[in-house]
Structure 1
């Protein structure tokens, strides 16, 4: 065999061995990314479902439960249902988030004036929020009415999404084993 044909044979074997592994790794990465996206969407949907479940609950200053909510009591109650514990006040909840300019459904929206946070709500997408507005009103969804807001990703969301991703992966593995 000539040196050229040995080199060609070696390359063919090398590429033949590597390409399937690389293809498998790429497929696995795509599958993992799709599971993460699906998990994030499920968590976002769950937050919106929980937030909407309290629609019509009266505003009550200092309220944290079924008798009524103030803004931070409402956000705290919603995230507690997801296993994420937020501090009691809107100003304190800022510390439980990472600021972002590109909000996602389920992020917190902080309303501020003169550097002071006076209200918090849950981002519902399309420039709208779920919140407990003020005395005499009820929990509702409405459009953001001011530009004096900033957004924060809730720090515990990563764990919630990872937990959901594990559930999806386990469910898919059970389905694949059942069809095999």
Structure 2
């Protein structure tokens, strides 16, 4: 019987310890909050204490998780990782940019008067072919191209704009976007990239 009394005394002391924690919590917290379950270790004693979770620094009490299981859950909580932001979709290419890519693919092709691709070109044959690859039909001759497109100031040029040269717009090339054009100049000179101001400029147009 003495042994049983000692075990009872140990349980009573543990219960008293938990009761003190619970009582202190009830006094410390001025308002009523969601109740937290308190467990007396090695017994079936369980009870709830309102506001216990709001006690300042309760998570610093030694072995608090033994008495208040919810503190174990709180200490083990980890916030879910934020999903990485989706990369922005690339901007769609303009017809001019697509035409410029086509013209660039023709660099090195021979000049042949009256040719409009795909293996040989004259000046307006190159520009009309390049725009056709971009899905846009433009006039065939240099003069017609200079007259049909939207006029563009030289300080507002964009890649793919057509630059017409000489007084009668007798030559055309495609602007690259960085101070050069791609054109088919004349016999014996293959399609190539050259300086924008290599010849006197007549006008610039955009399709």
Of Structure 1 and Structure 2, which has the larger fraction of its residues in strand? 1
- Structure 1, residues 77-131: CA drift from partner, whole Å, max 9, x if none? 0000111111111001123311111111001001022xx1110110001220011
1:83 to 111, 128, 135: 135
**Structure 2: distance between partners of 1:146 and 1:68:** 22
SS in 2 for 1:141: strand
Are the counterparts in 1 of residues 123 and 172 from structure 2 also a CA contact under 8 Å? Answer: yes
Count of aligned pairs between the two proteins: 117
RMSD: 2.1
TM-score by length of 1: 0.59
Give ranges in structure 1 of 5+ residues lacking alignment: 1-33, 155-180
What is the 5 A alignment of 1:48-127?
A: 48-101=100-153, 102-113=156-167, 116-127=168-179
5+ residue gaps, structure 2 = 1-87
Cα distance between partner residues in 1 of 2:172 and 2:96: 18
Q: Distance in 2 between matches of 1:84 and 1:43?
A: 7
**Is the deviation greater in 103-112 or in 138-147?**
138-147
Superposed counterparts of 1:1-180, under 5 Å: 38-40=91-93, 43-101=95-153, 102-113=156-167, 116-144=168-196, 145-154=198-207
Q: Distance in 1 between matches of 2:138 and 2:96?
A: 17
Write the deviation string for residues 39-88 of structure 1: whole angstroms up to 9, x where unpaired.
Answer: 24x65543332111111110000011134110000000000011111111
For normalisation by structure 2, the TM-score amounts to 0.52
Greater percentage in helix: 1
